[in-house]
Structure 1
Amino acid sequence: MAETLNIQVGDHISMVCRMIRRGKTNQIGEHFIFQTPAGAVSDGTIANVEMFAKKLTEEIERHGLKKITDVNFCISSSKIASREAVIPKVKEKQIQSLIMTNLKDYFPMDMSGYKITYTMLGEMTGETPGYRIIIRAAQKEMLNSYVSLAKAALLRINSIECTENALFQAVKDVKMQGNVMYMNISAVRTECTFMKDGEFKLHRSFNDGGDCLLTPYMENSFIESAEYIPTCEKLLDPQQTMMDRETAEDYLSRLVSNVNRAVDFYASTTKSSVDGIVLLGPCEHLPHFREVLKDGTGVDVAYIEQLQEVAEKLGKVVEVSTFVTCFAASISPVNFIPDEYLASRKKTGLAINRGPKNVQGASEDSYTSAIIIALVCVAAGVILSLVSVLGYLDSKGQLADAEEEIEQLQPAKKTYEDYMVYSKNDEALSYVKEDARGNNAKLRKFFEECERKMPKSLLFLSAQLNSSGAVLECETSTDLKDVANVIHEFRSFTSIEVIKVSTPEVVESSAESGVPTEKFTLTVVFNDPHAQAKLAQESNAAGNTSGTTTTTDTTATTDESQAGGEKQ
C-alpha cells in the first residue's frame, strides 16, 4: 500500500488530500483546504517559496500527514498553453520527437523557456490514420518553483499535473449523452472542458472565478482578508442565504459573460449547441450562480455531485466537487517535472546502501565467510559482464531500428506538413465566412424593419456602414410631427439602438415640386455596446458635413437598403 499527497496550489485557496494506492485503484483519505499566504503564489507560480513551504508544512503536520513524503502537485495557471493537434500514426516513443520537430507550427514563438508534453486523446482511423493529441507547454520558471517548494518542505515529487488535464481525467469516463460543458470554478480561474457523448471536444479557460463575488462582498462588509476561508464557507454553503439574487447577479455578471463567450465559441467551432453545464470546483456553490447562469445561457445547469457516475467513481466523499481536480491529479498526470530534477533523482536512486562495517572479534568461520563472499563477487562479475554484453547488443539493435524508422518517416513528415498548411487555410476561410454571414444578418434584419415600419416619405440620402452599426442621413417632409414620428419609430426597432440624432434642418428639394424637406442624421448600432464609442466619433464627423450636398456611398449591402426604400 503506497501513500502520496496530492497538493493543488492556488492564489487564494490551496488543497491537500491523501491518496492510498491499493492495487490498480486509488482511494481518497484525509483532505483539507487552507488559505494561501498573501503574496506567496501568483498565477500558479510559487513567488515566495519559504513562506508557502512553512505554511504547507504546518498544515500537513497539523493533519497528521507528516510521514508521507511523496507528492503529486497540481497547477492552475494561465502560463500553461495548450493546443489540440492531429499527428501521423507513429510509434509512441516517436511522438515526443515528432512534436519537438514541428513545435513552431503549434507555438510560433520562442519556446526555449517552456517544458513541452502531450496528452493522448484517441486514435483516428480511415484514409488518413493518426492520433488526436493535446500539446501543452508550461514555463520552466514556474515548474522550478515547485521543485524549490518540494526541497524546502522535504517532499519528493512524483508528478506535476495541470488542472486542465486533471479535469479531463476526472470526467472522461462520465458517459453523458449530448454536448456537456464541465466548469471547474476556483477563486481566480475557471476551466471549461467540453465533451460530446463522452468524447473530448474542446477546452477553454479564463481568469475569472469566485473572487468576482467574494472580493466585493468582503470589501463592502469590511471583512479582513485573513477571514477569507471562513467567509467562503458561509457564502458557499447551499443551506444558507446570505445574499439576495439581485446583488449576486450584479457581482456575477462578468463571470456569466465569459461563460457565454465560451459556449458561443464552442457552437461556432463544432456547429453544435451545448445541451448542459456541470458545475464543480471550490467555488461551485456561489450564491444564486446556478440560477443566474441558467437564465443567462438558456442551458440546464447541474452540480457534479448530482451525477451518479461521478459519485460511484469517487466514493462517499462529501466535498467531491471541491476536490475533483486535486483527487484526479494522480490518475494520469502530464509530464511537467523539469528534466534537471528527473536527472538528479535518477542519480540519487543509484546510491548503494552498504550496511554497517565489520568489527573486531570475528569468529573462526571468517575464512569460510570470506570464501563465500569471494565466490558471490565472482558470480556477480560474470552476471554483470553478460548483462553489459546483452545491453550493448540490445542498444545496437535499437539504434538500427531507430535509423530505419527515421527513414520511413520522411514521407510522413512531408504529408503532415502539407496537412498543416491546408488546415490553416481552411480555418482562415471558415473565419471569413462566419464573419461575413453574421454581419449581413444584422443588416438584413435592420432593412426588413425599415420596410415594415417607415413611411413612404422617408428617404435615405446616404449611409455609412460597418460591421457594428451605421450613420444614416435621412430626409422627410417639413412637418416636425412627421419627423418626430419617424425618429420614434426608429427607437422602437429591435435590430438597432439609436444613440444620436442630429437637429433637423430645412433644405430645398431638388425635385421639380420645389417643396422643402427636413434633413437629419441618425447614428445607430446593431445592439453592440462595444461599437458605441467608435460610432459616436463617426457621428460627429458626419454632423460637421451635414450642410453639404450628399451622395450615395454604400457597399453592396447598402444597395439592398435603397431598393427597399423605393418599394415603400
Structure 2
Amino acid sequence: MAGKLLYIEVGDRLVKVMCAVPQKKGLRAIKSFMFQPPEGSVFDGVIQNPEELSEALVAQLLEHRLRGVKNVVFNLASGKVASREVKLPPVKEKLLAPMIATNAADYFPIDLSRYHISHTLLEKVKGEGGFCRVLALAAPLSLLEGYFKLGEFAGLKIKAIDSSANSHYRALRPLRQTGVTMYVDVECTESFASFIQDGRLLLQRTFALGGDEFIKSYMEKVEKPEEEYIEALSELSVSAKTTVMVGAEGQMTHHERTEELSRLVSNIARSVDYFNSSRWETATSQIVLTGPCGRLEGLKEMVAAETGLPTFYLEELEEVRSVFKTIEDPSAFLGCVGAAHSPVDLLPEHFMRASRGMRLSKNETSIASGLISFSLLFLGAVVLSIIAVSSNHEVKRELSAIRSEISEIEYTQQVALSYESYQQGETALLEMRALADSPNAKLAAFFEELEQKMPSKILILSAVCSAEGVTMNITVPSYAETAVVLDQLRTFESISKLEVLSVSQSTNEGGSETSTFSVSCLYGENPYLNGENPYADLIGESTDSEGQVD
C-alpha cells in the first residue's frame, strides 16, 4: 500500500487509528477508527504491555483491512512529555537544535540522560529586536521505548513520533477565527487547551480531567460492562449530524450531568481566567470543543454558562469542511491529523539503530540455508577481485564524509557568536533596569539629609511620599524651632521647592508650648544653592545690567 501511512494515538481508554495519504495541499484520509486497549496496557500514554497491545492493534488492522500498511506515525498523548516555550535569537532554523541542546538543562531541571530533547518552531519575528518563538519538548526515553516495542511487535516501521502539544496546534492552525479562540480537546482522562489567534499559538494548558467520570458513572448506572466503553461514549454524545443525543436520553438527570462534569468545566473556566489575567487586551473571545468527549451531553451549555463566552463544537465552524475535506470526524482524530503536518523529532538515534538491527535480524533468519551457502561461495570467489577497488572507494567515501562533517559544523561558530551577543544584550538590559532612576532613590537621599541637618527635638508625626516629593506633619518645641527647621530644609540639595501648608501653636497641661506645621517638599535641584530665589517674582526683586538688586 504505497504512500499510505498509519497515524496512531494511544490513550488510556481509546486507541485512535487513521490511515491517510499525505499530499502537498493537505491530507487524504482513507479510514479512521477507535478501539479500547487491553485493560492495564496503557497508563497516561505510557505503554506498559506493548506485546498485548500490539496483538489488539494487529487484530483491528486486519478487521479494517489495513494490515498491509507498514509505515506508522505515533502521536504522544501523555502528561509525561514536558514542554516549554522559549525565545531564541533570530537564527536559521537548522541552528535552533544545537542552541536548544546547549540550554536544555535551564529549560528542564531534570536528569537529561533519561530524556530525548526536541523542538518545533512556532514563529519567527522579523525586524529590529526579532526573535524565534520555539516550543522545546522533553520526552522520557522509557516512554518512547514503549512505542518502539509496539512497532516492533506489530511489524510496523516508525516514520515519526509527534507530541500532542505540536500536533494539535498544527491541525488547528489553518482555522482563522476572529479574536482569540480557546480550543479544548476533551479526551477521556485528560483535556488539552490551545489558545490561538489568527494561526498564532499563544498558550497551551493540560489538565488531568476529561469525560471519563461522566462515562463511568453512566456505565455503572445502566450496568454496562467495561468492554462497551466506546458504545457508552457514543450514547452520551450529541450527534454531529442531528445535534441530539444518540441513545442515552433520560438515563442521566440534569443534576447528575452537572455533578459529573462540574470539575471539567471548572478547569476550563480557570484556564480562561489564567489566560485573560495576563492578556487583558486580547482576551478569549470564544471556546471550541473538540475531542471524542467534546460532544458529551450538556458540556457545551455548561461551559458557555460558566465562562460567559460563545461555545461551539468544532464541526459548527464554517472553515472546518474546507480544511478537513476528507476526514470523517476531525474533532475526534485531531491529534492524528496534526501528526501528519511537521511532526517533531522524537526519534532517539539509538532506538532507531536498534530498530533497524532487529528488522535486519528477522530478515536474516528467514533466508534458507541453501541460499546462504551459495551466497558465501559467490562472495568468496569475487572478494579478491574487488578488494582493491572497494578499498579505494572506501577511502574516498570517508574523505568525502569528513569534508561534509567539517562543512556542516562550520555554522557552530556563528551560533556561538549569536548566542553570546544575545546573552550580552540580556545582561545589559538587566543592568540598565537595576540602574534605572526610581522614586525610592530620591526618597533615600532626602531622609539622609533629614537625619544630618534636623535638630534633635524634631518630631515627624507623618509623612506622605510620592514620586514627586514628600509632605510631612512636624512638631517642634516653639515657633523659633519652626523657623530653624524651615531654614534647614531650604538648604537640602534634594529639594527644589518648599511650601508651608499650615502652622499652629498649642500648650499642654504642664504649660509647655509646642508648634506644629505641615510642609510640602518637591524633589529636584535646590535653586538656593545657586544663588537663585524661586520666589523673586512674588516679592518684586529685579536685577539691572550691572547685577545690582533694586
- Structure-1-length-normalised TM-score: 0.66
2:416 to 390, 397, 410: 410
Higher alpha-carbon deviation: 283-292 or 207-216: 207-216
Instruction: Name the residue aligned to 2:148.
Output: 147
Alpha-carbon distance in structure 2 between the residues aligned to 1:162 and 1:406: 28
Quick check: 2:22–2:340 contact (8 Å CA) kept in 1? no
The aligned counterpart of 1:443 is: none
Paired residue secondary structure (1:12): coil
Name the counterpart of 1:236.
237
**Structure 1 match to 2:8:** 7
Name the CA distance, whole Å, in 2 between partners of 1:410 and 1:314: 42
- Look up the match of 2:352: 342
TM superposition shift of 1:9: 0.7
Which residue does 2:68 correspond to in 1? Answer: 67
Distance of aligned partners of 1:32 and 1:382 in 2 relative to their CA distance in 1, 3 Å threshold:
same
Question: Residue 5 of structure 1 contacts residue 18 of structure 1 at CA under 8 Å; is this kept in 2?
Answer: yes
Question: Which residue of 1 is the match for residue 473 of structure 2?
Answer: none
Instruction: Pick the aligned partner of 1:307 from 312, 317, 321.
Output: 317
CA distance in 2, matches of 1:13, 1:349: 28
Residue 321 of structure 1: SS of its match in structure 2?
coil
Q: Provide the rounded CA distance (Å) in 2 between the counterparts of 1:192 and 1:277.
A: 10
Amino acid at match of 1:248: R
Q: Alpha-carbon deviations, 1:66-98, whole Å to 9, x = none?
A: 111111111211101100011113333332111
- Aligned partner letter, 2:263: R
Superposition pairs for residues 156-195 of structure 1, below 5 Å?
156-195=157-196
TM-aligned CA deviation for residue 420 of structure 1:
6.6
For the aligned residues, what is the CA RMSD? 3.4
Amino acid corresponding to residue 314 of structure 1 in structure 2: F
* Contact residue 15 and residue 34 of structure 2 kept, 8 A: yes
Q: Which amino acid aligns with 1:281?
A: G
For 1:26 and 1:49, how far apart are their aligned partners in 2? 29
- Whole-Å Cα distance in 1 between the matches of residues 360 and 129 of structure 2? 45
User: Distance between the aligned counterparts of 2:359 and 2:82, measured in 1?
Assistant: 32
Q: Report whether the alignment pairs 1:291 with 2:301.
A: yes
What corresponds to 1:259 in structure 2? Answer: 268
Describe the SS at the equivalent of 1:123.
strand
Opposite residue 249 of structure 1, the aligned amino acid is T
Distance in 2 (CA, whole Å) between partners of 1:82 and 1:209 is 20
Q: 1:236 to 1:386 in 2, by over 3 A?
A: same
Residue type of the alignment partner of 1:266: F
Whether contact under 8 Å (2:287, 2:312) holds in the other structure is yes
Q: Matches of 1:334 and 1:37 in 2, distance apart?
A: 28
Aligned to 1:540: none
What is the rounded CA distance, in whole Å, between the counterparts of 1:109 and 1:50 in structure 2? 30
Does the 8 A contact of 2:28 with 2:326 survive in 1? no
Give the distance between the partners of 1:120 and 1:230, measured in 2 at CA.
39
Contact between 1:279 and 1:301, CA under 8 Å: does it hold in 2?
Answer: yes
**Structure 1 residue runs without a partner (length 5+):** 361-372, 427-568
Secondary structure, aligned partner of 2:99: helix
1:330/1:410 CA distance change after superposition, 3 Å? closer
Structure 1 residues 338 and 194: alpha-carbon distance in aligned structure 2, compared to 1, 3 A threshold: same
Q: After superposition, where does 1:46-125 map in structure 2 within 5 Å?
A: 46-125=47-126
- C-alpha contact 1:177 1:198 (8 A) present in aligned 2: no
Paired AA for residue 247 in structure 1 = E
Is residue 2:55 matched to residue 1:35? no
Aligned match of 1:448 = none
The 1-side partners of 2:327 and 2:25 are apart by 20
Q: Is the 8 A contact 2:7 2:73 kept in 1?
A: yes
Tell me whether 1:323 sits opposite 2:333 in the alignment.
yes
Paired residues, what number? 413
For residue 280 of structure 1, the aligned residue among 287, 290, 295 is 290
**What does residue 377 of structure 2 align with?**
none
Does the Cα contact within 8 Å between 1:144 and 1:338 map onto a contact in 2? no
CA contact (8 A) 1:35 1:229 kept: yes
Match of 1:519 in 2: none
Return the match for 1:247 from 247, 253, 256: 256
**Corresponding position: 1:19 with 2:20:** yes
Q: Which is further off, 112-121 or 409-418?
A: 409-418
- 1:227–1:350: structure 2 CA closer, same or farther, 3 Å change rule? closer
More deviation, 216-225/204-213: 216-225
1:384-533 superposed matches below 5 A: 389=396, 392-393=399-400, 395-396=402-403, 398-399=405-406, 402=409, 404-417=410-423
Cα separation, partners in 2 of 1:400 and 1:63, compared to 1, 3 Å: closer
Cα deviation 1:132-159 (Å, max 9, x = unaligned): 1100111110110011111111111111
Task: Report the structure number with the largest CA radius of gyration.
Answer: 2
Q: CA–CA distance in 1 between the matches of 2:230 and 2:285?
A: 34
Mapped to 1, the partners of 2:415 and 2:257 lie a distance apart of: 57
- Any gaps of 5 or more consecutive residues in structure 2? 375-380, 433-550
Distance 1:350 1:113 in 2: 27
User: 1:105 and 1:83 mapped to 2: Cα distance?
Assistant: 11
Identity of aligned residues (%): 29
In structure 2, what is the Cα distance between the partners aligned to 1:163 and 1:324?
9
AA at the equivalent of 1:10: G
Asked if structure 2 preserves the Cα contact closer than 8 Å seen for 1:212 and 1:255, the reply is: no
The 1-side partners of 2:123 and 2:390 are apart by: 42
2:319 counterpart letter in structure 1: E
Does structure 1 retain, via aligned residues, the 8 Å contact 2:6–2:20?
Answer: yes
